[in-house]
Structure 1
Amino acid sequence: MARLLGAVRSAGALSQAEIARRTGLSAATVSNIVQELAAAGSVQVRPGLAGGRRVRQVTLSETAGTVVGVDYGHSHLRVAVGDLSRRVLAEDAVPLDVDASAADSLNRAEQMIEDLLCVAGVQRSQVLGVGLGVPGPFDVDTGQIGSSVLLPGWAGVRPQQALVERLCLPVYADNDANLGALGELAFGAGQGQNDLVYLKVSNGIGAGLVLGGQIYRGAGGSAGEIGHITLDEAGPVCRCGNRGCLESHANAGYLLSLLRDTHGADLTVADAVALARQGDPGCRRVLSDIGRHVGIGVASLCNLLNPRCLIIGGDLAPAGDLLVTPLYEAVARYAIPSAARQLRVVTGTLGDRAEVLGALALAMSESAGEHAVVPA
C-alpha cells in the first residue's frame, strides 16, 4: 500500500497498469489495493489518458493535502494553490519587475500566498510544500541562481532558503523551463508521455527535459540550456558572455528589435504574432527566421536525446505553424533522419500557466526529495 501511494504521489496520476510497472506489484494486487484505498477515501479513480489511450487514472484524494506553486518570470509573479488530486483551488498573477529586487519579489510572493490560502479556505498548517520556479539556471548544490547576469537583483540570494524563512514550509525549487515541462507533463500536452522536451521561447530560451517520465536536471541543475548553443561565433555578444548564442538570434526581444522601426516602439510580442497571423510579411518573416534558428538547436537535441515529443511554450508559442513549420524544416535538415522523423512538435496547451502548474506538480511529487529545503 505504501509503495502504491508513493508512486501515485510522485507522478500525480497513474493508470493501474503504470502503478504495477513502477511498483513491481501484480495487476491483481494493484486493483485490490486501489479498491480498498478508494473505499477509504484516500485515492480517487478518474478517466484519463496514457500513451494516447483512455484509461482509469488513480490520484490522491482531494483531502490528502494542499500545495502551493510560485512562478517568477522576468516581468511577472504567478501563484497557485492546489490539492494532491491536481485540482487548482486558487490562482493569481501580477506584473512585477522580478530582476530588480529579490527581497521585494519574495515579500510579494509571501503576501500572495497568504491571500490565496485565504481564498481557498486553507490553513498554512495544511500546506505540505511549496514549488518555486525561477527564470534561470538553478544551482542545486549551492541553492543560488546559476548566473547573476540573468537575474542581477538576485546575486548571492538563495531563493529556496529565503522563501523557507518567510513561510516556515518545505520549498522545492527548479528553473522555469523544467517547471514548464512538469506542468505540460502533469496537466497539459505532455500527459501520457515518458520522453519529451519542453521548449520555452520568451525573453530567453530554455528547455525542460523529461527522460523516462522524470525531469533530467544534469549534475548541477543546468541541463537544458539550449539557448546558449553557439550559432555564430562572430555574432552578437550574449548576456552569458559568449557570442552568437541561439538566444541572441531567437528570443522575444530580438523579434521586437527587428520590427519596431516599421511597426512602432509600442509593439508587443502578442501584437507581432497577431499581425503575422493576419498576413503581415515582415512579422511572418521574422517569426520564420526565429523558427529556423530554434530548429537548429532542436536538431542537436534530437541527435543527442532522440525525444518523441517537443512542446513549444512561452511568449512565441501562439505563433503556431508560423514558428513550427520552419522549425520542422531546420530539424529535417540538421538532425539525423531517423530522429527527425520520430519527433512530433506541438504547442503547449497551458499557455502562461505552464510554469506555475509545474511548480504545483513539483510540490506534489516531492515531499522530502533531494531538491527540498525545509525549515530548521
Structure 2
Amino acid sequence: MAKRKSNMVVGSSGLIKSINKKNILNTIKRNTMVSRAEISREVKLTMPTVMRISEELIRDGLVCEIGKGISTGGRKPNLLSIIPNGRYFIGTVIDKNIQSIVTNIEGEILSSCRRDIDYSGGEDKILVQLKQCMKEAVRMSGLSKEDMSYSGIGTPGMGFKYAKQANDGVFSYWATKNLDFFKEKGHFEWPTAVENAAKLGALGELEYGIGKSLNDYIYVYADYGVGMGRVKGGKLDIGIDGVAGELGHTSIDFNGRDCYCGSRGCLESYCSINALVKEYRHEKVLDGGANGSNYGLQMIEDALAQGDPTAEEVVKRVGGWLGIGLANAVNIYNPSAVIIGGELARRFPLYIQSASEVMMKNIFRDKGRKIKALAGTVDKPMEALGAIALAIEAYFDEYCSK
C-alpha cells in the first residue's frame, strides 16, 4: 500500500499526542508486522515516544506483540501487529436497497445483510429500515451490539437542485433530504459517520482493493447513478463543502437529454443503468420488439452473453459516453489511474473497455495518456467496505483524541 506522508503540526501537547498516537496506530495497521524502530523511522518520532504510545495501544487491546523480528546487529526486535478482532465495525450502503456488513478491524467480512428499501416515507422511515438491516447484520455475525465500535453509512447524493418532472422515485426522494439529519447523534446505537456512496467506493479501493498500490486516482461509480471519488496523496479529497465528485452531473451536451436534476445533457443520463436499459429498449423497439418495457438489465446481460449484436452495440455506445466524461476528469485532475466500479462495471467488461478506449482518444495531453484504466474490485462490496474504512477512521480519531 502506498505510504502516506505525515504532516508536521504545531499545537497543544494534547493535539500533538493525538496526532502521534494516530500516526503510530495507522502505521501498525498498514503493516502485517512492524518493529518499534521501524515505526520510529516511518513516523519520525523518538523511540521513547513510540514505546510509550505502543504500550497504551497494547493495554487498550488494539495492538499486540507477535514475536521477534530479524536482528540488524543487536537483539531481535519485538514485532507489533494490530489485533484483528480487537474491534468490530458496521458498514452500510443505501442505493436501490440497503446492504450492511460487519467486519473486524482488518476489514474481514463476518456477515452481510441486504434488504429492499421502501421510499414511501420520510427520513424516520428510512432510519427504521437502516437500523433493522444493521441489527440483522450484527445478529448474523454472532456478535452483540456492545461489540460494535463504530458505524459508517454511504448514501446517495442529497440536497441537490431538483426538477419536479423527474420520475425516478429514488433520486427524487434523496434530492430533498439533508445529509446532516443522518449525522445527528442519537439516531443509531453506535457512533456513526456518513458519506456519499461513490466516495466510499474510492475509499474502499484505497484500503481493501486495487487502490492499495496507488496514491492518486479517480474512482467512478457507474450504477443507477454516476458518481466519483478522488484520492490524492493517499487521502480522499471531498472538496471544501464535502460535495466534490459530481461527475454524473457534468454536461456532455447542453441541448441533450433532460436530467432529473433539472439540467440537460448530464453524463448520468447517458451512461447509468437506467440509461443503458432505456437505450436497449429503444433499439429493440426499432428492431420490431413487441414490448420495450420487458427489457431489463439481466436481459441485456444475457443477450450480450449470447452474442446479440444490438446488446453489444448498446453497451459499447453507453460505455463510450462514460469515456467522454472520464476524459474530462482526467484532463482536469491528471490522476495516475481511473478505477471504474459499480454494477455496470461488475457485469459488463465491454462497458469498461469501451469507456477506456474513448477516454484515451479524448485526453488532451500526450503525457495524460499514460494513465491506467482499471476495473474496480468485483469480488468485494467496495462501497460497504468504504463505509467500514470511514468508520475505522472516525473511531481512530475519537480514540486517539482521548
SS at 2:359 equivalent: helix
Cα 1:98–1:348, aligned 2, differ >3 Å: closer, same or farther? farther
1:153 to 164, 173, 179: 173
- Residue in structure 1 matched with residue 5 of structure 2 by the alignment: none
8 A Cα contact 1:320 1:347, kept in partner: no
- Residue in structure 2 matched with residue 65 of structure 1 by the alignment: 87
1:351 positional shift: 5.6
Q: Are 2:355 and 1:327 equivalent residues in the alignment?
A: yes
SS at 1:241 equivalent: coil
In structure 1, how many angstroms separate the alpha carbons of the residues matched to 2:373 and 2:119?
Answer: 31
Counting only pairs closer than 5 Å after superposition, residues 207-226 of structure 1 correspond to structure 2 as 207-226=228-247
Q: Which runs of 5+ in 2 are unaligned?
A: 1-16, 67-78, 164-169
- Residue in structure 2 matched with residue 120 of structure 1 by the alignment: 141
Q: Are 2:376 and 1:348 equivalent residues in the alignment?
A: yes
2:313 to 285, 288, 294: 285
SS at 1:367 equivalent: helix
- Residue in structure 1 matched with residue 341 of structure 2 by the alignment: 313
In structure 1, how many angstroms separate the alpha carbons of the residues matched to 2:54 and 2:311?
Answer: 53
Counting only pairs closer than 5 Å after superposition, residues 108-147 of structure 1 correspond to structure 2 as 108-137=129-158, 145-146=159-160
The amino acid that maps onto 1:332 is: M
Q: Are 2:293 and 1:265 equivalent residues in the alignment?
A: yes
1:6 positional shift: 1.6
How far does the alpha carbon of each residue in 1:11-45 deviate from its partner, in whole angstroms, 9 at most, with x for none?
Answer: 89423599667622489998999899789974379
2:225 to 192, 204, 208: 204
Identical pairs, percent? 28
1:341 positional shift: 2.5
How far does the alpha carbon of each residue in 1:61-93 deviate from its partner, in whole angstroms, 9 at most, with x for none?
Answer: 1243221111101x1100111121222222111
8 A Cα contact 2:101 2:384, kept in partner: yes
SS at 1:257 equivalent: helix
In structure 2, how many angstroms separate the alpha carbons of the residues matched to 1:30 and 1:337?
Answer: 46
1:276 positional shift: 2.1
8 A Cα contact 1:130 1:169, kept in partner: yes
- Residue in structure 2 matched with residue 170 of structure 1 by the alignment: 191
How far does the alpha carbon of each residue in 1:225-272 deviate from its partner, in whole angstroms, 9 at most, with x for none?
Answer: 111111111111211111111111111111111222526533322331
Report the TM-score, using the length of structure 1 for normalisation. Answer: 0.80
- Residue in structure 1 matched with residue 274 of structure 2 by the alignment: 253
In structure 2, how many angstroms separate the alpha carbons of the residues matched to 1:346 and 1:38?
Answer: 39
1:179 positional shift: 0.7
8 A Cα contact 2:338 2:373, kept in partner: yes
In structure 2, how many angstroms separate the alpha carbons of the residues matched to 1:366 and 1:230?
Answer: 35
In structure 1, how many angstroms separate the alpha carbons of the residues matched to 2:357 and 2:120?
Answer: 36
Q: Are 2:97 and 1:81 equivalent residues in the alignment?
A: no
8 A Cα contact 2:24 2:50, kept in partner: no
Range moving further from structure 2, 57-66 or 251-260: 57-66
In structure 2, how many angstroms separate the alpha carbons of the residues matched to 1:210 and 1:36?
Answer: 31
The amino acid that maps onto 1:14 is: R
8 A Cα contact 1:195 1:307, kept in partner: yes
1:43 to 41, 56, 63: 63
8 A Cα contact 1:184 1:350, kept in partner: no
Counting only pairs closer than 5 Å after superposition, residues 95-114 of structure 1 correspond to structure 2 as 95-98=116-119, 101-114=122-135
Counting only pairs closer than 5 Å after superposition, residues 1-16 of structure 1 correspond to structure 2 as 6-7=22-23, 13-15=29-31
2:261 to 240, 243, 251: 240
In structure 1, how many angstroms separate the alpha carbons of the residues matched to 2:108 and 2:323?
Answer: 35
In structure 1, how many angstroms separate the alpha carbons of the residues matched to 2:309 and 2:214?
Answer: 36
2:303 to 246, 259, 275: 275
SS at 2:331 equivalent: helix
Number of residue-to-residue matches in the alignment? 352
1:274 positional shift: 3.5
1:321 positional shift: 4.1
SS at 1:295 equivalent: helix
The amino acid that maps onto 2:227 is: G
In structure 2, how many angstroms separate the alpha carbons of the residues matched to 1:278 and 1:245?
Answer: 31
In structure 2, how many angstroms separate the alpha carbons of the residues matched to 1:158 and 1:124?
Answer: 25
8 A Cα contact 2:89 2:388, kept in partner: yes
- Residue in structure 1 matched with residue 44 of structure 2 by the alignment: 24
In structure 2, how many angstroms separate the alpha carbons of the residues matched to 1:131 and 1:8?
Answer: 23
- Residue in structure 2 matched with residue 357 of structure 1 by the alignment: 385
Cα 1:161–1:335, aligned 2, differ >3 Å: closer, same or farther? same
Cα 1:236–1:146, aligned 2, differ >3 Å: closer, same or farther? closer
Cα 1:235–1:64, aligned 2, differ >3 Å: closer, same or farther? same
In structure 1, how many angstroms separate the alpha carbons of the residues matched to 2:27 and 2:229?
Answer: 17
Cα 1:321–1:122, aligned 2, differ >3 Å: closer, same or farther? closer
1:100 positional shift: 5.5
1:180 positional shift: 0.8
SS at 1:366 equivalent: helix
Cα 1:27–1:275, aligned 2, differ >3 Å: closer, same or farther? farther
1:368 positional shift: 6.9
SS at 1:165 equivalent: coil
